[in-house]
Amino acid sequence: MTEGIRVLIVDDQPLIRMGFRMILDAEGDIEVVGEAADGHAAIAQALALDPDVVLMDVRMPGLDGIGATRAILEAQPRIRVLVLTTFDLDEYAFGALRAGASGFLLKDAHPHELAGAIRAAHSGDAVLAPRVTRRMLEMFGDRLPIDTTSSGRTSDLTDREHEVFVAIARGLTNAEIGAELFVSESTVKTHVGRVLGKLGARDRVHAVIIAYRMGLMRGDTPEAL
């Protein structure tokens, strides 16, 4: 039997934690291994339980989800953090993404969206929809300082990998990239893995941020390398 995706739920409201647990307990491939009510407890639980995915509320008293996300990922980089927020693209959600979160989800998401986001985060696939990715970078992209010292990261990319990198930065899914480049999804997945490895990116969200910090994207138009 395949081992389930181990999930830690972090939220300061007991009823929300209970609701998420009930939803996830109904999924055969997901196991809730623990809960935490604040950022400090989240860090302790993450280090003790070693979950695959942390559902992280960002607005909590004491240490918020941004600080907890940063501390957890510094200690255990393999853990995926999925941010929970009541506001679409607020400052807290974006701050958590900059701290290393793999994506975010609204608290009123449907049960199948919650489970799907956890599976996507665990597999390293996109958790931000293309629409959300574009909006995020339209709203906050100008606050990301240009990082010209990182241009060497792309020097090892092949032409095809560079095309995939730009497509990731535009927020396209594997299926959309495959349709645009006329290749299979499995081939795209292979290219994505190589791109992330060469960029030193944790996941697709991190790759998007790298692209914008390098000044490779302006709106939806890629800049020449």
Lowest-pLDDT range, 62-76, 106-120, 200-214? 200-214
163 and 116, same domain (yes or no): no
Domain region containing 213: 140-222
- The torsion angles phi and psi of 92, rounded to 5 degrees, stand at -65, -45
Which helix (H) or strand (E) segment holds residue 197: the answer is helix 185-199
Give the pLDDT of residue 49: 97
Looking at the structure, tell me whether residues 216 and 160 fall in a common domain. Answer: yes
Give the separation between CA 80 and CA 31, rounded to whole angstroms.
15
Domain count, the chain: 2
Residue 56: its pLDDT value, please? Answer: 94
Please state, rounded to an integer, the average pLDDT across all residues of the chain. Answer: 83
pLDDT, one tens digit per residue, over 78-96 is: 999 998 877 665 677 777 8
pTM of the model: 0.74
pLDDT at 184: 94
Residue 99: per-residue pLDDT? 86
- Does 206 or 133 have the greater pLDDT score? 206
Q: pLDDT tens digits for 122-144?
A: 887 656 655 555 666 666 556 65
**What percent of the chain shows pLDDT beyond 70?**
80
Residue 173 sits in the same domain as residue 148: yes
CA pair distance 135, 90, nearest whole angstrom = 11
Report the pLDDT value the prediction gives residue 220, as an integer from 0 to 100: 46
Query: Bigger pLDDT: 156 or 146?
Result: 156
Residue 128 lies inside a defined structural domain of this protein: no
Question: What confidence tier does 103 reach under pLDDT thresholds 50, 70, 90?
Answer: confident
The answer to whether residues 115 and 200 belong to one domain is no
Contact 23, 17 (CB under 8 A): no
Residue 16 has pLDDT above 60, yes or no: yes
Q: What is the CATH number of the domain that holds 20?
A: 3.40.50.2300
Find the radius of gyration of the CA atoms of the chain.
Answer: 17
Q: Which of 123, 148, 180 is the last residue of a domain?
A: 123
Would 130 be classed as within a structural domain? Answer: no
Q: Which of 162-166, 197-201, 213-217 has the lowest mean pLDDT?
A: 213-217
- Min mean pLDDT across 110-114, 159-163, 199-203, 219-223 is at 219-223
pLDDT at 43: 97
| Whole-number pLDDT of residue 223 | 44
SS3 label, residue 222: strand
